[in-house]
Homo-oligomer: A and B are copies of this chain.
């Protein structure tokens, strides 16, 4: 089923995007063309070779400042973090996050952003949410950029209180106080402040 060059290249791009681990050989079979054609296509589309693609994906994964939560497991993008102190993440509200009927973001996405930021800010192997008191102060519409700011309020043996405020522009849309359990209560009394 060979189609035009243009169509093949479009499909090629999509295929590789979905599965960066595919070889030229496999693509050639998939599109019933020669390996050389695939390579020409890749060049025209400036798609790097398999190993470079894999490396890129792997490198993205390694930029892991966050201890208690791999960065990809955070909802929203962390733009700043000071472990055990504060963190900021942004989350762009897209079509898939809103109620189709009114275009308002479903609450659990805002919660997820805030909650995962609360987990991320904790400088520990493990952190779990114990309690939370939250408030959705204003509806958030599709297309909005929600900025969540987490602040560690206090920390006692195995428990940390994190406050998260989320805003769109200057409007507060969400606030929550999270009581987080943490894995190793490294501190008994006064702990050494080395941080590492």
Contact = CB atoms under 8 A, between A and B. Distances in A.
Contacts of A112: 71, 108, 111-112
A135 B130 contact: yes
Given A65-B72, A72-B97, A99-B195, 11 more contacts: A20-B62, A61-B61, A61-B72, A108-B111, A108-B112, A129-B136, A131-B133, A131-B135, A132-B132, A132-B134, A132-B135
By secondary structure, the A interface counts as mixed
B75 A96 contact: no
User: So how many copies of this chain end up in the complex?
Assistant: 2
Interface residues of A, number: 52
Contact of A102 (B57, B72, B126): B126
Contacts of A60: 61
